[in-house]
Structure 1
Amino acid sequence: MTTSELAGAVPVGSVAPEFDLRDQNNRRVTLSGLREDGDVLVVFFPLAFTGTCEGELGHIRDSQPRFSDDTLTTVAVSVGPPPTHKVWSSAQGYLFPILSDFWPHGDVARSYGVLDEQRGYPNRGTFLVGRDGLVRFSAMVGPGEARTEDTWSAALAARS
């Protein structure tokens, strides 16, 4: 069940909140910089080293041509620090950016409406941001729920 509008996730048609975060290699990554090359799939996940998150990001890794090309970049975002993401991404073979929303803690997840304030980490939010900065797809599932293939397909179908 997708709960994007009910839970307050940034709706389709809105301007996507800008971010400036560090990836697993401690490099700065901005949404505006990514958008220069095309659409951006922003995938929020709760925590590294957890089964569902590992499975979802493994799906992106194993289907890389669907999630990354000359006009699409996929990034994953969580509240873990870059060193944790570095170890995890290296162990799992994730070659796409894993961004750290560590400090201010969960600020980007909060701006996208997906931060679970009680738990201190994001729900599984999925946003397709067009080159123009507008949200073209928005979905979120709650704790313990995994994204379905329908969610991935709908997000990718929303490309400009």
Structure 2
Amino acid sequence: MTPGPGEPPALRDQHGQPWPWPPLAPAHDAGPVPSRVWLLFLPGAFTPVCMAELTWVDDLAARLTPAGVGLRVLSCDSAAVLRTVAEDLGINTPLLSDFWPHGAAARAVGELNETTGRPHRSSVLVDAAGTVFARVRAEAGTQRRLEDHLD
């Protein structure tokens, strides 16, 4: 089942909790909401390049917070897989599952590779309306740089 026109993707974090679309603030938390959020798409949570990128996501999130910008990591992997990754690496940044409907969030911002069924290795900066302000994309097998998200 794929979301229909105007229907938001259904996202769950690594703990199985629902998140709204765009994922600025979790549905279960009334804390401060960033004005914009980087959506950092992973083609596969346990691939070598993705694992290398995950080593700097908490640092990036901390550097973005003073500017009112959030960071969410999204992958088509299940919430259970993302929980294992977060626990293995000690990640505090929310990891969101775009598992079902498969790739709906990546598709919503034009980042789903329809051939592979995985998102491109990309990051997309959006606001609460889903307006795209910036994109960072790396070729397959190449890492994005933390610094590219700070400009």
Q: TM-score, normalised by structure 1?
A: 0.74
The within-5 A match list for 1:10-159 is 18-32=8-22, 34=24, 36-69=33-66, 71-131=68-128, 133-154=130-151
CA deviation string 1:126-148 (max 9, x = no partner): 11123554221123223212113
Aligned CA RMSD, in angstroms, stands at 2.3
Q: Is the 8 A contact 1:114 1:140 kept in 2?
A: no
* Structure with higher helix content: 1
Q: Is the 8 A contact 2:40 2:122 kept in 1?
A: yes
**CA separation of 1:62 and 1:144: change in aligned 2, threshold 3 A:** same
Q: What 5-or-longer segments of structure 2 have no aligned partner?
A: 1-6, 26-32
Q: TM-score, normalised by structure 2?
A: 0.78
Total equivalences in the alignment = 138
Percentage of matched positions with identical amino acids: 30
Q: What 5-or-longer segments of structure 1 have no aligned partner?
A: 1-16, 155-160
Q: Is the 8 A contact 1:20 1:31 kept in 2?
A: yes
CA deviation string 1:15-60 (max 9, x = no partner): xx95430000001111356264321111111111122111212112
Asked which structure has the greater RCO (Cα within 8 Å, sep 6+), the reply is 1
